[in-house]
């Protein structure tokens, strides 16, 4: 059961990092360049770089953020 919880967290964070970086890099690329001829290529380069950075950071920070949120709203989560 513990493996399923861990796998669920990894899949959830991966999906979240994918969507967040995809959307954010679109807007940042657009705000910096506008719709230039090679916009999609530049956006995909930015997205790939952002995803490579965001995924390990998200996987590392998520448990810490969850514990902090639990303390802030006073949830006792004993595993």
- Structural domain including 10 reads 2-72
Give the pLDDT confidence of 30-41 residue by residue, as tens digits.
Answer: 999 999 999 999
Q: Is residue 78 part of a domain?
A: no
Do residues 25 and 46 touch, judged by C-beta distance below 8 A?
Answer: yes
pLDDT digits 0-9 by tens, 58-77: 999 988 998 898 889 887 66
Q: Contact at 8 Å (CB) between 5 and 66? A: no
Separation between Cα atoms, residue 73 and residue 28, nearest integer Å? 33
pTM to 2 decimals? 0.74
pLDDT 10s digits, 6-63 = 888 889 999 999 999 999 999 999 999 999 999 999 999 999 999 999 999 999 998 8
Does 79 fall in a domain?
A: no
Count of domains for the chain: 1
Residue 58 belongs to a domain: yes
């Amino acid at each position: 059961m513990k493996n399923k919880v861990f796998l669920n967290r990894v899949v959830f964070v991966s999906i979240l990092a994918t969507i967040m970086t995809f959307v954010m890099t679109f807007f940042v690329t657009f705000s910096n360049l506008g719709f230039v001829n090679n916009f999609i290529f530049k956006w995909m380069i930015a997205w790939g770089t952002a995803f490579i950075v965001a995924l390990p950071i998200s996987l590392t920070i998520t448990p810490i953020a969850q514990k902090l949120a639990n303390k802030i709203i006073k949830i006792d989560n004993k595993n």
